[in-house]
Amino acid sequence: MNDQLSLNGSYVAEKPQQRTLTNDYQLTQSSAALGKPKVKARYSENGIVSDLGVEKRKVYQYKQANGVMVFSDQQPLGADYQVLLYECFACRPDSTIDWYKIPLFTSHFATDVALAAHKYQLDPALIRAVIHAESAFKPGAVSKAGAKGLMQLMPGTASDMGVDNPLNAQQNIRGGSRYLAQLLAQFNGDLDLACAAYNAGPSTVTQYSGMPPYPETQAYVKRVKILFKRYQKALAS
């Protein structure tokens, strides 16, 4: 599905549809490559997955001779590598979406966003930016990994945040905002690290003592910040 076209889908608040993504990506290897570097394929467990049917993204992960881990969209010629497959909305490094111009959702779930922003002392524009990056405001979004709803809460996170039904928009926004506020507190108000932790997990950010080297995480953080500034401007006008 074309990125831009995926943004034009209509939103039906009365009957949100639950959609589950499946992974049917077939990895093939030419006969010329047989006997060369070992290849392992797995799906990213940390990606932000929406129900938009976005084309899967393939990233090569391998370790250089000096021990440095590399993530690249180019297949390495002389090293064992893993293929990471992403189903992302806001994390594709090669996304063709113009994040400075895509339509915003300034009025959807207005009461729920306002209440969560007040309760957890967050800028409502930030909550909207994260929702937009996570699910493009699709309350029925369900990822292969099990993340659900507007702010794509994993079952464990939902439970920790007191969310019984993550497909309920009010509960999801409240739980996702609470989690986002906790991450901001954990990383001393650093928006980049808090957003990275929302995507890749706080332990990953701690492990790397900063921004993880994952292409999807870096793209996600950049785009959340773009959306954040745009929502701030739009909500102030």
* Catalytic residue IDs: 134
Give kind and range of the element (H or E) at residue 41.
strand 39-43
Percent helix / strand / coil, the chain, rounded to 5: 40, 10, 50
Which of 158, 132, 137 lies closest to 146 in space, CA to CA? 158
Tell me how far CA of residue 161 lies from CA of 137, 140, 153, 176, 227, in angstroms: 20, 19, 9, 8, 25
Angle of helix 124-135 relative to helix 169-186, nearest 10 degrees, comes to 110
What six digits make up the tokens of 89? Answer: 């909305």
